[in-house]
Structure 1
Amino acid sequence: MGETIGPSEARAIAMLMRIAGRPAFPSALRRVLRTKMAFRTFLILNYPANRPPTSEYHWIPDVALRETYITHYLGGAYQLDPFFQYSLQPFRPGIYRLRDIAPDRFFASEYYQQYYQRTNLGDEVGVLIPLSDGSVGSLSMSRGTSDPPYSKAELRGLRLIEPILVELLRQHGERILMAAGSRRAATLPYVLDEAIYHYAARAHAPGLTRREAEVTALVLQGHSSLSASLILGISDQTVKVHRKNIYKKMRISSQAELFLTLQKALLVENAKA
């Protein structure tokens, strides 16, 4: 993308404005963006308040990766996705890069090693837009681990049209809501530590305390003890004590076991949503 929008790009944007909210919009948007930057996956999701996400459109040529996305990510792994977690807090509508919003130890987390890394996806850029029913619209574009990361020029070109892209996705999301007659009053957002707390109460004796569940949720997302302590307003030593108690109660000895144990909890809670 250049520093200005040329006539062909202006025509493409005008076309997208006309078809926002229609079934043809996602694939048309993918084709427009594809002429400007390469990506391996192109996803449009909706993160409703208090319910699992819905995949409104996914372009994933790799069959195995597509199956993983449908069964594993939508089945519960999304709860540890930095983009999903970022959508639960107040945010500015716009473009975000995975590495910029991920927790400080995300790339060393079990979620990354056991799920994300196995997808062979590397750099990821997303767009987040709040919608009027309390849900969040999300666009994701990922590259493979064998691909070069998004360049400064590509990201600069994408940010050049950021206001247009945000508005197009907002119009698309709102028109879908109107067409489906599905406007809902906003509800409290999904909270991962609540799911962990209730799962531990059912599956382990004794269960976790509320604070231990909060620490567990942050550890699973990829926060270090220091990062978790800053978020919770406690010392990193206190976080380490909580982690020790969590391992003891759940009869485990490593973060890998914690992930595998709570991965089941994510799927259980997702099935009940």
Structure 2
Amino acid sequence: MTTAPDASDWPDTLPPVIDALHSAEFFPRMTRFLGGLAPFSGIFITRLFRDAPPRHVYDTVRIERRAAVIDQYLDSAYLLDPFYDAFRKGNVDCAHRLRDVAPDRFTRSTYYQHYYRNIDLRDELGLLLALPDGSVAFYSIGRPGRERRFSSRALAAFRTALPLVTSLTAKHLLHQPRPDLPGPAQVIDDALIGFGAGVLTAREREVAELILKGHSSASISDRTGTAVGTVKIHRKNLYRKLGVSSQSELFASFLGRVLAGRDGP
């Protein structure tokens, strides 16, 4: 049976994290502490909100990679991120590996093809930490293509430390007020729920969202309680109504709605 290390196994980098509360050194030291639990190559921390796009908090991404990794994620890619989907469903105060939250055909999803594959990640482990103001701190912890996937033991180590990481993160961000957030309040939900409104039926909009996230027809069938054959008919009809012939074109149509929503009426 795989067991997680207890507090006596934690590295001696914890006291410096506590000492760095409310200073610019907090997240670099927290990153070193987490790396002592299980090694990784990069971290990207954002603050998630239910009524606005994510806000950047901290990252270790090289400057030449920022446009592809950071800017693209914050602009639109987050909408189809399996971890962001888990957050929207209320799955917080938790640690998961990507394979624990990803759809069954994640590698065929628009998110994977247009974003994830291009940033050369082998595996990702996410911490979703509820903050007192209702927002959530999302620690995206990555290993690049040449490294091994996160093991069950690594996941257990992060889960053991989760209450401590949550408490320290909340204390650090306590005096950082909720930022002024750009754009209308319901852009995110409007983009996902209202995609194809006036053209698609409610069921077709739901199927379109699940297709974009990487669910197979069988998975969509399970989630919607409809037959696989019916799902395929919905897919065919929504493609026809939207004037698209591929998942890439479906994504382009979806992204256009997101950007239009941010620009306002």
Q: What range is the shorter-chain TM-score in?
A: 0.7 to 0.9
Specify the code of the residue in structure 2 equivalent to 1:50: D
Superposed displacement of residue 161, structure 1: 2.0
Change (3 A) 1:249 1:197: farther
Residue of structure 1 in register with 2:49 after alignment: 48
Specify the code of the residue in structure 1 equivalent to 2:191: A
- When normalised by structure 2's length, the TM-score is 0.85
Structure 2 residue 181 is the aligned partner of structure 1 residue 180: no
Alignment partner of 1:264 out of 253, 256, 263: 256
- Please, what is the CA RMSD of the aligned residues? 2.9
Instruction: Give the alignment of 1:103-122 within 5 angstroms.
Output: 103-122=103-122
Specify the code of the residue in structure 1 equivalent to 2:258: L
CA–CA distance in structure 1, aligned partners of residues 188 and 178 of structure 2 = 26
Structure 1 unmatched runs, 5+: none
Change (3 A) 1:235 1:30: same
* Contact residue 94 and residue 163 of structure 1 kept, 8 A: no
Superposed displacement of residue 183, structure 1: 11
* Contact residue 20 and residue 171 of structure 1 kept, 8 A: yes
Change (3 A) 1:95 1:271: farther
Change (3 A) 1:8 1:198: closer
Instruction: Give the alignment of 1:119-198 within 5 angstroms.
Output: 119-173=119-173, 175=174, 178-180=175-177, 192=189, 194-196=190-192, 198=194
Which structure 1 residue ranges, 4+ long, deviate > 4 Å from structure 2?
181-184, 188-192, 196-199, 270-273
Residue of structure 2 in register with 1:3 after alignment: 5
Superposed displacement of residue 224, structure 1: 1.5
2:235 is paired with a residue whose SS is helix
Change (3 A) 1:16 1:241: same
* Contact residue 88 and residue 190 of structure 1 kept, 8 A: no
CA–CA distance in structure 2, aligned partners of residues 271 and 98 of structure 1 = 32
Residue of structure 2 in register with 1:24 after alignment: 25
Percent identity reads: 32
Structure 2 residue 252 is the aligned partner of structure 1 residue 255: no
Change (3 A) 1:197 1:33: closer
CA–CA distance in structure 2, aligned partners of residues 268 and 183 of structure 1 = 20
CA–CA distance in structure 2, aligned partners of residues 197 and 159 of structure 1 = 32
Residue of structure 2 in register with 1:216 after alignment: 208
Change (3 A) 1:158 1:220: same
Change (3 A) 1:19 1:228: same
* Contact residue 130 and residue 137 of structure 2 kept, 8 A: yes
Change (3 A) 1:110 1:92: closer
Change (3 A) 1:270 1:59: farther
1:44 is paired with a residue whose SS is strand
Superposed displacement of residue 36, structure 1: 4.2
Residue of structure 2 in register with 1:57 after alignment: 58
Specify the code of the residue in structure 2 equivalent to 1:16: V
CA displacement, residues 139-174 of structure 1 (integer Å, 9 cap, x when unaligned): 11111111121234433333332322232223334x
CA–CA distance in structure 2, aligned partners of residues 43 and 139 of structure 1 = 6
- When normalised by structure 1's length, the TM-score is 0.82
Specify the code of the residue in structure 2 equivalent to 1:67: A
CA–CA distance in structure 2, aligned partners of residues 53 and 74 of structure 1 = 6
Superposed displacement of residue 191, structure 1: 5.3
Superposed displacement of residue 189, structure 1: 7.6
